[in-house]
Structure 1
């Protein structure tokens, strides 16, 4: 009888352990398009075992020192607007895909958002007012569409470093409008300096860390390249007792894909599918089994799957490339 009770106790512990495991966020960054989406556009996400999509409306700034954000206009693509967010989120939800709403800023000519900085106090106040209108309107929309995660900003280092008090106040206002999970998408070289991780549910990182200088990075070389970065990420997670979410991750299918993974240089034209696959596999092997790692969002996924990507494509998308099967395999795991 005692042996029987012991067996039952061990079985209960086993099933409790299994049920307590939190499923990883297996997401894609779903690119906004000119048109609405249908099941034909969302079913490929189911095919790769994705359970999340980042829906990304955009606001636009004329230059790095301009304080006005223009957003939700008739001149934007449908997917970049509030109406597009509602339609995309509804179509994705039909496929049981959860939503991270991730409003982003685009600076004219593609200048880096981390360098947005104003020249005087008046302009900083104008930027704060403009950003508040932008992000709070989407916080309210995140509540309306029942988004599981809301990302309060993406790669805005100078704005945050120069105006930390504003961001503290802004987070309080966001929480009045949206009661779901919050994150911020810090650039890979910014995440250690973000002052408000304690107010977030996830430490968000756009994971474009350099991990190999090779033309075709090997799995082994990339794993070695990850060691220092992984240690720093893990340490920050422990410091704040927060899980880490890769708000963006991915590699271009080009030579030297893991050397400076953030580069979108049009001069990089030599297709290298093996490099993309090896670097992606290393990221999964380094992080996917860590309890403190919540998962992440592949950069990036286009709605027109049948014609997206392909073996001659040099861009980030994994669609119709060897790396897509790799992602599907890892996304099949918990």
Structure 2
């Protein structure tokens, strides 16, 4: 597998976002400013709560199929490779990792098999688009931690995807979960979310390396990032972290990640989180405390490593 120099572009964009000319301008800026050769697009599926059985991916909270197809084609016209990563979220704000049901069916209670039917419809819908538009990878969701123990259902899902999509298939597990997934043999590429504390990269890479050696599959970080908020490098996965703006700390986190991963030949790339479809004014970059990279020192770190 070719090394992935990626960025996640406009995750969970709402209907109409990709039809805005600013989205194309932002994507061009992403390529020019970071040197990325690969983007991940993240269609948004919504269920009411973590115990709901139905995923809605045709709401106004998600880009339309037509918008998505046009953005894929535009990305490819720029020479970018594209992965689709349809991701389920909960409307009530519960993190998707907590989507969960009883392991044994109980009358009048929501059930795994109903949820997996809806989740499969969601994934296969975008797998067809990925196939028709020539996407280089299909990633079957993200950070569905509590569901990952349901190995049979995941194997069936991956097989269903491969019936309609003939490129590389991956799944993006969450940080610290790489060695808990038992069905990596079913995918072509192992991927995870690399939100590890700055000081912990070597330790966590040692652990992940054992998984890669066992399954003999390519590996990349389908997400990786750190906010530009003070002390975020200690808890880069904490979206709610508050504090002063810390642009250099964000950049230092990226330096540490790249330095550690560059020693591991089995790390086959990254897709940084994230780059919005609508950019803030460049003069506002110094005030932004989020994961965004545009105009920050971290952007320059990525460009340096992606240009190698």
TM-score by length of 2: 0.91
Query: What residue number does 1:76 align with?
Result: 61
CA distance in 2 between counterparts of 1:288 and 1:66 reads 42
- Indicate yes or no: 2:19 matched with 1:40: no
- CA offsets 1:180-205 (integer angstroms, 9 cap, x no match): 00111110121111121112221101
The equivalent position to 2:222 in structure 1, one of 223, 247, 272, is 247
Task: Confirm or deny: 8 A CA contact 1:27 1:296 kept in the other structure.
Answer: yes
**Residue 246 of structure 1: CA displacement?**
0.2
* 5+ long unaligned stretches in structure 1: 1-21, 212-221
The Cα shift of 1:90 comes to 1.0
Higher RCO (CA < 8 A, seq sep 6+): 2
Q: 1:264 aligns with which of 226, 239, 245?
A: 239
Conservation of the 8 A alpha-carbon contact between 1:203 and 1:245 = yes
Aligned counterparts of 1:245 and 1:110: Cα–Cα separation in 2: 28
| CA deviation profile, 1:125-174 (whole Å, cap 9, x unmatched) | 2101111111111111110111101001111111121x221111111111
Q: Which moved more, 1:83-92 or 1:93-102?
A: 83-92
For residues 71 and 141 of structure 1, the distance between their equivalents in structure 2, rounded to whole angstroms, comes to 14
Pairwise CA distance, 1:77 = 4.3
C-alpha distance 99-289 of structure 1, shift in aligned 2 (>3 A): farther
**2:164 — aligned with what?**
177
Asked if structure 2 preserves the Cα contact closer than 8 Å seen for 1:60 and 1:71, the reply is: yes
Structure 1 residues 178 and 63: CA distance shift in structure 2, 3 A: same
In the alignment, is the contact (CA less than 8 A) between 1:67 and 1:118 conserved in 2? no
Secondary structure in 2 matching 1:192: coil
Match of 2:266 among 277, 281, 292: 292
Matches for 1:134-213 after TM superposition, within 5 Å: 134-161=122-149, 163-211=150-198
Give, in whole Å, the separation in 2 of the partners of 1:233 and 1:55. Answer: 25
C-alpha distance in structure 1 between counterparts of 2:205 and 2:247, whole Å:
25
Query: 2: distance between equivalents of 1:313 and 1:173?
Result: 41
**Structure 1 partner of 2:68:** 85
Q: Provide the aligned length of Structure 1 versus Structure 2.
A: 295
List aligned pairs for 1:220-239, cutoff 5 A. Answer: 222=199, 225-239=200-214
**1:278 — aligned with what?**
252
Aligned residue in 2 for 1:102:
85
The one of 55, 59, 62 equivalent to 2:45 is 59
Q: Deviations over 1:189-245 (max 9, x none)?
A: 21111121112221101011233xxxxxxxxxx3xx222101111121111111211
In the alignment, the residues of structure 1 paired with residue 174 and residue 91 of structure 2 have an alpha-carbon distance, to the nearest angstrom, of 19
